[in-house]
Structures are given as C-alpha cells and as structure tokens.
Amino acid sequence: MSITTTKPVSLHQLEGELNAAGVTVTALGMLQDTIFSYDAQGEVVDLPAAAQAVVDAHVAMRDKTDAEYAAEFQDSATTPARKQQIRDQQNGLEPREQVPITQAEWDEQQKSVDA
Amino acid sequence: MTRQNAVNFSGALQFPYANAPTDLFKKEDVQILAQATDGHDHSSGKGLMIPGTAIQPETISHIQIQNGSIWTEDLADNIITSAKLADGAVTRYAQIANNVILTQHIADGQVTSAKIQDGGVGSVDIASQACHYQNYVGLTAPQSTTSSTFVQIPTSQISAYVLPSLGVGPQATWVNWTLSLTFSATASASIAWNMDGGGFNSAWYYTGAAGTTITASGWMITSGAVGSHTYAMGWAISAGTLSLSGVTYNTFGVWTPIR
C-alpha cells in the first residue's frame, strides 16, 4: 500500500514505531510525500496496510537545538539544576531532549529547488 | 585630266592611276602598281587592313597568334572552362583570392591531420558529444532512508547508457555524484552505485553530525563491456535518517571519455 503524508515525519523514529506495532520493516524510505520500505534486494516496496494507523499516530520528534537550549538557559526562570542539565545535554553527557517537529519546520525542509 | 594617287598605298608603293577616259596612261601606272601588288601585305601604306569579316570563320590557328599577345580583355568573361586548364597548372596560392574557398570545394574525408596546425582545433570546433559520452539525472528531493544496507535511491536510474566501442577492450567509465545530504543523527552515510541491477559497489562514505547538511561530491572509475547499460545509485546510513535535501540540485552521472 502506498502511504503518503504531508505532516512531519521522522523516518527512523517511525521505523521503530512500526516495528513496535508489529509491522516489521528493516528500513524505511521516503520520496517527497510517499513512505515506503525495501525488499531483500533493496528495491522499493509499499508498506503493508497496517502501517497506515501507525503513520497517522506518528508525531515526529527531533533533538532540541542549541538555539532553543540557549534561550531556555538565558531565561531568568530557569533553575540552576535545569541549567546544569542543559549543559550536560549540550555536552553529550545526557541525550538531548526531543521536541515535536512543527509543520512549518517540516514544510521548510520539504522545499525543493525543483519546485 | 583627273589622275590621282592610290589612297591605301603610300611611299614608294603609292601608285598613280588614271580615272577618266581622257587621262594619260603612264608607265608608272603599271610599274608602281606592280610593286604595290608585290608588296601588298595589308600593313600600313600597303593596302587596306583586313577586316574581321574578311577572314573565314574557324581559319585562324594558334600559329597566326604571336606568343604572349593575348590579353585579358581579349577573353570574354566566364569563358575559360576547366578543360582549358592543364592539370596542376594553377601553382600559386596567390591566384586564389582570400576567403573564397567554401566547404563544398573540399571533398569529404580529404583534410588530413597534417593539414591542421598543432593546437589549432579549438574546443568550440568539437561537438559536445565528440570527446565523451555522458548522461546525468537529477535526483528528486527531498527523499530519505533509514536503511543500513545499500538501497537504490529512487529516480537515480540512468537507462540505456551505451558504452562506445574503441576497439581496446572494456571501456573506462566514471560514475559521479553531487548530493546534499542531511543527517538526523551523527552517523556515516555510504554511497554506492550498481550496473544493470547488480549488487551495489560501495564508492564513498561521508560522516555528518546530527542536524547537519553536507555537500557530498565524488566519483569512481569503473569499466564495462561495450553496449547498453543501466546505472543507479544506492545509499545507506549507519544511524538515524539520511535525507537528500532539496535546497540544491542533486545529480548522478555517468561519463565516458572516448579518446
């Protein structure tokens, strides 16, 4: 089944969500708005129909950016403990926090010189 | 008495003659006339010149024409034909005006290498496909993959690419690419190519930090049998999602020099 979407997609995140939901995929690919998988030869194949619900429920996340951390760090309301946590995350001592990819961010990423 | 002298003879050959019945007849009338007749050659003072109409057509041969006496103005325009020129008779380039030789005056296949000055052939004189075969495709973007093993990049296929025969065995060929790669996580991206749907040949790898986009350009020399082939690109990522950014053009090409 050909699955398309215009909402933000984090492909590797979606791959984990599909496998967790029992829709086994070894890898995912995306060409513009179409999401697909691969066969054993690396050829493009459609996703099974069961993948549609997982895609619909998908909320694409990304790492928090340095600019976002900096804004929070500069906020007077940020506690010293939180600032330390921000330092640790920015220095790789802890995983970075995840934030949703906004539709505006996604649309910007999807722009193409071919359009 | 109305005797008179000849008007077309002069000097010693100017004979007198009677022209009225009452005129005296003198011996000189015959004596000088005989000399005039004897010396009559139609030159000045020796009789009337011979008009062209008095010469029978097709009777004057080349021996009656003094060497070197025919002038340019004696020849009508456009009257000298090829048959009147001896083979090899035009010996000086100065007899050909500048810029008058046209392409059609040179027989096909007649300009040999020795007639071309070293370094004289400019790039504009070479057809765009004369020195190499090439074919490029623009890869549709954006597109992404999470595959850790090589998978084909959709829209990267170059079909019916014909490797030319040079008579020197398998033809060297360059595959090349310029990609704008975005990494969702710090990872290593591998680029590969295949021919005729065969296994992917790993060509290059690029590392990128999470959230960064790099320009990945590269090439690889390969070879193939003479004939038609299909080429395609493959890619793989060690972690996260690898994307082809649409912010710039992404291309995959095959290029074959033929000399």
ipTM of the complex: 0.85
* B18 contacts: CB under 8 Å, gap ≥ 6: B2, B3, B24, B25, B26, B29
Overall size of chain B counted in residues: 259
Residue A93, Cβ neighbours under 10 Å: how many? 10
Predicted confidence (pLDDT) per residue in B237-248, tens digit: 999 999 999 888
Pair B208, B110: CB distance under 8 Å:
no
Mutation site, B140, B143, B151, B230, interface A, largest A CB count within 10 A: B151
| B1-49 tens-digit pLDDT | 688 999 999 999 999 999 888 888 889 889 999 999 999 999 999 999 9
Q: What is the pLDDT of residues B157-203, one digit of tens each?
A: 998 888 776 666 667 788 999 999 999 999 999 999 999 989 999 98
pLDDT for residue B108 is more than 70: yes
Query: How close does chain B come to A111, measured CA to CA in Å?
Result: 6
Residues A54-71: pLDDT tens digits? 999 999 999 999 999 999
Q: CB contact, 8 Å: A102 with chain B?
A: no
Q: In chain A, which residue's Cα lies nearest the Cα of B241?
A: A12
pLDDT, tens only, B205-229: 999 998 899 999 999 988 888 888 9
Nearest in space to B228 (alpha carbons), one of B191, B173, B178: B173
pLDDT surpassing 60 at residue A115:
no
Angle CA A5–A11–A14, to nearest 5: 85
Q: Give the CA distances from residue B47 to residues A19, B28, B43, B52, in Å, rounded to whole numbers and listed in that order.
A: 130, 18, 7, 15
| Minimal-distance CA residue of chain A relative to B248 | A113
What is the per-residue pLDDT for B24?
86
Do the chains contact at A110 and B142, CB–CB below 8 Å? Answer: yes
